[in-house]
Structures are given as C-alpha cells and as structure tokens.
C-alpha cells in the first residue's frame, strides 16, 4: 500500500533519512522546509499523513499543527510530530496542538516506518476534537 506523506522538516539530513526509509516502503514523500510551505503543500496535496518537525524556522511545529487542524480537509489527517526536544511535556504539547503521535529524534531506522504505518492502516475517519 503506498501513500503520500508530507514531511515538514528543515534539516536536510533528517529529510534525507526519513524520505529514504519511507520510499523504501513504497510511499511517496513530498517535503517542505518550513511551516508556511508545509501548510500550503498540505492543502494542495491532501496527503495521507503529515510528519511534522517541531523545531522549524518561521513558525514552530505546534503552531503548524494548530493551523493544519483548522483546515477542514486536513482535520482528520494523521499528524506525527518528530522532534529532538527531550523536554518534559513535549508529548502533551504536541498532542494538545493536534498531533496524533510523537516520535523522538534521532529516528530509529528499524522502527520508524512501522510507527508511521500504524496511522495509515487505521486512518481515523472521525473528526479530531
């Protein structure tokens, strides 16, 4: 099953690794380097899932997630936060801003795709509260 995944990540190496791993599993990856571009692409692509870095230029991932959740067509799209922040409360902050899950960097190449595919198999069809 291949899906379209939007990757919003400003770090080139992280983009490269995530793209490589997802493409190996047959997924199509489109990436943006900042929030405003990511939001624009999300609206035109209507991706199956969004991978969202939290530490981004221009606006942080929390703000991006909140904006994405305010767009009708993206209200049910799985958003997974990917962040190197090791701060207490980060997971809660990600979830509160509309993300479905939180993955810590550095990403583990052995489990990364499996963690993401969970959200592709059971695409939530109910509205995000």
- What mask, x for binding Mn ion by CB under 5 A, covers residues 47 to 86? ------x-x-------------------------------
User: How many residues belong to the chain?
Assistant: 129
Point out the residue whose Cβ comes nearest to Mn ion: 55
Element (H, E) at 5: strand 4-8
Minimum distance, C-beta of residue 129 to Mn ion, in the bound complex (Å): 27
Q: Which one, 3 or 51, has the nearer CB to Mn ion?
A: 51
Minimum distance, C-beta of residue 107 to Mn ion, in the bound complex (Å): 13
Kindly state the number of chain residues that form the binding site for Mn ion, as judged by CB under 5 A.
3
Alpha carbon dihedral 82, 30, 14, 100, in 10-degree steps, equals 10
Q: Which one, 32 or 42, has the nearer CB to Mn ion?
A: 32
Give the burial string for 5-43 (b: 16+ CB within 10 Å, else e): bbbbbbeeebbebbbebbeeeebebbbbbbbbebbebbe
CA 1 – CA 92 distance, rounded (Å) = 31
Minimum distance, C-beta of residue 55 to Mn ion, in the bound complex (Å): 4
| Site for Mn ion, rule CB under 5 A | 10, 53, 55
């Amino acid at each position: 099953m291949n899906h379209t995944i939007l990757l919003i990540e400003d770090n080139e190496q992280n983009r490269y690794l995530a793209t490589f791993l997802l493409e190996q599993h047959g997924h199509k990856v489109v990436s943006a380097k900042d929030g405003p571009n990511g939001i624009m692409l999300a609206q035109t692509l209507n991706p199956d899932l969004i991978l969202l870095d939290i530490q981004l230029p221009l606006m942080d991932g929390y703000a991006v997630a909140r904006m994405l959740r305010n767009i009708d067509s993206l209200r049910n799209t799985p958003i997974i936060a990917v962040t190197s922040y090791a701060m207490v409360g980060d997971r809660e902050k990600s979830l509160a801003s509309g993300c479905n899950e939180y993955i810590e960097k550095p990403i583990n190449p052995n489990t990364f795709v499996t963690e993401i595919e969970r959200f592709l198999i059971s695409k939530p069809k109910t509205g995000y509260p």
